[in-house]
Each structure stands twice: as structure tokens, then as C-alpha cells.
């Protein structure tokens, strides 16, 4: 590979990483929720009944959820670790992204809980023994 091709490849990779970082910074809690959570919990946070009750538990609603609106540390820990078929989001979402999702959901659909900062998520991640998210987010 010639030096010109190497430089061009590095420049293209640098541009792609910069564009990805800008897009991630511009994502809102609502858009992240729509991409990462709405498939299961619904765009309106209503959850889903169990399709096969003996195999799959129902997906709980987030609208009016006392658990979601409860202690920020406990809520962040649940999202990071996952539960009952829910993915462990610590593997592919940053503290900032989780903070945005939780802040959105805690204030949407009639919920009235306070925002959750990225620092609260980072502290919950550390308590789980996690050293940071593992894969780039999409």
C-alpha cells in the first residue's frame, strides 16, 4: 500500500469516527429510547403482555412505573445489568446514552421523576465491577 493510500485511509477513518461522535452527542433520550427500548416497551411505554406465558414473562410498562421513578441508582443498575430477558445495556451503551434514555423515560408518559446524570450511571457501573462499555454503540 502506498503512503498516499495509507494517509487517505487514515483520514477517512478519522472523519468517520468524528462524524459518529457528533451523531452520538446529538442523540436525544427520546431517539435513543425509540432505537433501543421501544421494540419491547413500546413507543408509549405501555409494555407488552406475555406472548407465551409459560416461556416468556410480560414486558412491564414504563408509563407509571414506580420502579422506573424510584431510586436513580437502582434504576441505572437495572438498565446496566438487565433482568428477565432484558439485555445488559452496559455492553453497548455509554453512561451518557443510558442517562439520556432514563431521563427521557422518567419524564415521559406521565412519569414525573428527576433526571439521572451520567455520573449516577457511571457510579452504578463501577459498583457492578464494570470498567466501561465494551462495544461502540449503533
Q: What is the DSSP string of 76-99?
A: HHHHHH--TT---GGGT--HHHHH
* Burial class of residue 95, CB neighbours in 10 A (0-12, 13-18, 19+): buried
- pLDDT by residue, tens only, the chain of 138 residues: 565 555 545 555 555 444 444 445 689 999 999 999 999 999 999 998 877 666 677 899 999 999 899 999 999 999 999 988 889 999 999 999 999 999 999 999 999 999 999 999 999 999 988 766 665 544
With CA atoms as reference, report the closest residue to 68 among 124, 120, 115.
115
Please report the pLDDT score of residue 54 as a whole number: 65
Contact 102, 75 (CB under 8 A): yes
The grid coordinates of residue 58 equal 410480560
C-alpha of 124 from chain center: 14
The CATH number of 28-127, from 1.10.3720.10, 1.10.760.10, 3.40.50.2300, 3.40.50.2020, is 1.10.760.10
Domain ranges of the chain: 28-127
Contact 110, 67 (CB under 8 A): no
Q: How many residues can be counted in the chain?
A: 138
Amino acid at each position: 500500500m502506498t503512503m498516499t493510500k495509507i494517509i487517505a485511509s487514515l483520514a477517512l477513518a478519522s472523519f468517520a469516527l468524528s462524524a459518529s461522535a457528533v451523531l452520538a452527542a446529538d442523540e436525544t433520550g427520546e431517539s435513543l429510547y425509540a432505537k433501543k427500548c421501544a421494540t419491547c416497551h413500546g413507543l408509549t411505554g405501555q409494555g407488552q403482555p406475555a406472548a407465551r406465558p409459560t416461556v416468556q414473562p410480560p414486558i412491564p410498562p414504563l408509563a407509571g412505573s414506580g420502579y422506573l421513578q424510584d431510586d436513580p441508582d437502582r434504576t441505572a443498575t437495572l438498565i446496566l445489568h438487565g433482568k428477565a430477558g432484558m439485555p445488559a445495556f452496559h455492553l453497548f451503551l455509554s453512561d451518557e446514552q443510558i442517562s439520556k434514555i432514563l431521563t427521557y423515560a422518567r419524564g415521559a408518559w406521565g412519569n414525573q421523576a428527576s433526571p439521572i446524570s451520567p455520573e449516577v450511571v457511571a457510579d452504578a457501573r463501577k459498583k457492578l465491577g464494570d470498567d466501561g462499555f465494551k462495544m461502540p454503540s449503533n
